[in-house]
A and B are shown apart, each in its own frame.
Chain A
Amino acid sequence: MTQLVGVNEPRAAWQELLAGAKSLGIKTNVWRMLRTPPELERTIQERAMACGIPEAAIATDDRGAMQTLADREALINVRPLRTHHWSGIGGCLKNYIVFSDSPPAWHPDGCADLGGLMNLPAVKGKTRLHLLVVLTPQFHGKGPHYFDPRYVWDYKGLIASRDPVAADATGVRLLVAKRREFFGEEVPFATHTKHVEVAETKHRVGVADPHKIELVKLGWQDDVLI
């Protein structure tokens, strides 16, 4: 957090990140197969409380987010990275689909317009941090739940960004690298991850081009892949 915000102390980093916010919504993801770890949710909540946001003003939710988080002054978006049937990957952009009145309306063309979710009135300009959880990312899927334990690995990482597109674009790179390593060849996603590129080129909600993303790698570098 200190690296991301550019300050020396963790508490100062959180304070700057949440500056001015009197309430916080933590948009999590509770998909049964690979949910946001409750420990991580609690840690975020504790950091926010240490910044002076009262516990009663902090809500954590996924499917009820439209009812419980839309009125918050600040949001933190936190979810695991995984491959996905119809959007190629499920990342930070897709995590806001529940803020839409009609989630299926975002499905056409490989969910190409998911970037537009960041411009919905309920969330626009509110998100202070996007945390793409890559502790145990899922790099391939199969079956009705598109989950197969063979395709989840212990990467033990977190991708933190103020830019959801940059976070997801980095996640795509990671999954591509893992798939290449695992399968020994380029195996395309079930659906091309065009929504990440379109989020930059059409919706202008972030940067997808890896050449324009400053990737700062901290901590353990073994098997970092990217």
Chain B
Amino acid sequence: MPQRIAGYAVVEEATYTPETVFDYLNGGAEIYLSYGMEAVLGRRYAHPEEPELLLDVFDLGSSENAFGMFSQEQENPTREIGQTSEYTPGLLRFWKGRFFVAITATGLTDGATAATLALGRACAAAIAREGVQPELLNSLPAEGLVEARVRFVRTASALSRHYDLAGGDILGLGCDARAVLAEYERSGGRAVLLLVECWTRP
């Protein structure tokens, strides 16, 4: 990951573990832990005239977790950076291999936007290996699938951010499930499909 880019330079850097990430992400750590977060590198980039950038590189242990974390907030993904990415003014998110990466600009300027995208591309290039999406996605019927509304989740709490099944964990997902929530549009109607991988005990 570059120390300097587009006039920005790293001014602060720390790595957090599942035990310490609460000190870093104010109120937002749980969702990353639900996707198996092993560590996160947090960097702050400063520029003399531009808003700061925050780079967060999450090691989620597997590519299915990295995809799942990305899918949590996807709205209109593209394949421009990493394996799938999404840029909205002030925030770039992408996943590649077992890593989920987010770059947050603390203000909206042309310079910050250009640096955000340049930093994203540099980080994606620094991650050597690509990964595969969760196998469970292959079981989704293709007709009418709204790909931007596919969420891969590992826990009931991650599912509840998008679909509340009467509160609590009534499906018994626990903390190590594989489930996919997908939206469909067919014949002018909308539907939601929840597919949960289940195993029979040997």
Q: Whose C-beta in chain A lies nearest to the C-beta of B108?
A: A149
State whether the Cβ of B144 lies closer than 8 Å to any Cβ in chain A: no
Are the C-beta atoms of B22 and A90 separated by less than 8 Å?
A: no
- Could you mark each residue 72-116 of chain A with 1 if its beta carbon is under 8 Å from any beta carbon of chain B, else 0? 000000000000111100100000000000011001000000000
Contacts of B89 in A (CB 8 A): 148-150
State whether the Cβ of A145 lies closer than 8 Å to any Cβ in chain B: yes
Q: Whose C-beta in chain B lies nearest to the C-beta of A83?
A: B27
Q: State the 4 A-B residue pairs at the shortest beta-carbon distance, nearest first.
A: A149-B90, A85-B27, A85-B28, A144-B56
State whether the Cβ of B32 lies closer than 8 Å to any Cβ in chain A: yes
- On whether A86 and B30 interact (CB within 8 A), knowing A142-B91, A149-B90, the answer reads yes
- Distance in angstroms between the alpha carbons of A176 and B116 in the assembled complex: 30
Are the C-beta atoms of B91 and A148 separated by less than 8 Å?
A: yes
Are the C-beta atoms of B107 and A87 separated by less than 8 Å?
A: no
Q: List 27 A-B contacts (CB under 8 A).
A: A31-B26, A32-B106, A85-B27, A85-B31, A86-B27, A86-B28, A86-B30, A107-B30, A142-B91, A143-B91, A143-B93, A144-B25, A144-B32, A144-B40, A144-B56, A144-B58, A145-B25, A145-B26, A145-B54, A145-B56, A145-B104, A146-B26, A147-B106, A148-B91, A148-B104, A149-B89, A150-B90
Contacts of A142 in B (CB 8 A): 73, 88, 91
State whether the Cβ of A12 lies closer than 8 Å to any Cβ in chain B: no
Inter-chain contact total with CB atoms closer than 8 Å: 60
- Could you mark each residue 129-154 of chain B with 1 if its beta carbon is under 8 Å from any beta carbon of chain A, else 0? 00000000000000000000000000
Contacts of A86 in B (CB 8 A): 27-28, 30
The interface on chain A, measured as residues whose beta carbon lies within 8 A of the other chain's beta carbons, has a size of 21
State whether the Cβ of A190 lies closer than 8 Å to any Cβ in chain B: yes
Are the C-beta atoms of B108 and A150 separated by less than 8 Å?
A: yes
Q: Whose C-beta in chain B lies nearest to the C-beta of A94?
A: B27
State whether the Cβ of A33 lies closer than 8 Å to any Cβ in chain B: yes
- Distance in angstroms between the alpha carbons of A85 and B25 in the assembled complex: 10
Are the C-beta atoms of B27 and A84 separated by less than 8 Å?
A: yes
- Could you mark each residue 156-169 of chain B with 1 if its beta carbon is under 8 Å from any beta carbon of chain A, else 0? 00000100000000
Contacts of B108 in A (CB 8 A): 149-150
B residues adjacent to A (C-beta < 8 A): 22, 25-28, 30-32, 40, 51, 54, 56, 58, 73, 88-91, 93, 102, 104-108, 161
A residues adjacent to B (C-beta < 8 A): 31-33, 84-87, 90, 103-104, 107, 142-150, 190
Q: Whose C-beta in chain A lies nearest to the C-beta of B167?
A: A109
A209 smallest CB distance to B (angstroms): 24
Are the C-beta atoms of A143 and B104 separated by less than 8 Å?
A: yes
Contacts of A143 in B (CB 8 A): 73, 91, 93, 102, 104
- Distance in angstroms between the alpha carbons of A12 and B35 in the assembled complex: 55
- Distance in angstroms between the alpha carbons of A87 and B32 in the assembled complex: 17
Contacts of A144 in B (CB 8 A): 25, 28, 32, 40, 56, 58, 102, 104
Identify which of B88, B89, B91, B105 gathers the most chain A CB atoms within 10 Å of its CB.
B91
Contacts of A31 in B (CB 8 A): 26
- Distance in angstroms between the alpha carbons of A23 and B73 in the assembled complex: 46
Q: Whose C-beta in chain B lies nearest to the C-beta of A192?
A: B164
Taking A144-B25, A144-B58, A147-B106 as given, write out 14 further A-B residue pairs in contact, using a Cβ cutoff of 8 Å, ordered by the A residue number. Answer: A85-B27, A85-B28, A86-B30, A87-B27, A142-B73, A144-B102, A145-B25, A145-B56, A145-B104, A146-B26, A148-B104, A149-B90, A150-B88, A190-B161
Contacts of A146 in B (CB 8 A): 26-28
Are the C-beta atoms of A149 and B93 separated by less than 8 Å?
A: no
A29 smallest CB distance to B (angstroms): 10
Contacts of B58 in A (CB 8 A): 144
Identify which of B30, B51, B58, B90 gathers the most chain A CB atoms within 10 Å of its CB.
B90
